[in-house]
A = this chain, B = another copy of it.
Amino acid sequence: MSTAPDPHDVLGYLLKHAHLRFTALTDTALRPLGIDSKDFGALRVLAGREPASQLQVAQRLGIDRTTMVALLDELERKGVVARRPDPGDRRRNIVELTEQGERTLDAARTAYREAEEDFLAAVPPQAAAQLRATLRELVE
Chain A residues with a Cβ under 8 A of chain B: 1-5, 7-19, 21-23, 26, 37, 41, 44-45, 47-49, 112, 116, 119-120, 122-123, 127-128, 130-140
Contact A49:B135 (CB < 8 A) given known A12-B19, A15-B19, A130-B127? no
Partner of A2, one of B45, B48, B120: B48
* Contact yes or no, B138 A134, CB < 8 A: no
The 10 closest A-B pairs by CB, nearest first: A4-B48, A14-B135, A15-B19, A17-B139, A131-B134, A127-B134, A4-B49, A123-B137, A18-B135, A11-B116
What are 8 A-B pairs with beta-carbon distances under 8 A?
A5-B44, A7-B41, A11-B132, A21-B138, A119-B138, A120-B138, A127-B134, A131-B134
CA distance A140 to B128 in the complex (A): 16
Closest to A41 in B: B7
In the bound assembly, the distance between CA atoms of A130 and B1 in angstroms comes to 29
Copies, count: 2
Chain B residues closer than 8 Å to A136, beta-carbon distance: 8-9, 14
In the complex, chain B residues whose CB is within 8 Å of the CB of A131: 130-131, 134-135
Q: How far is the CA of A37 from the CA of B49 in the complex (A)?
A: 39
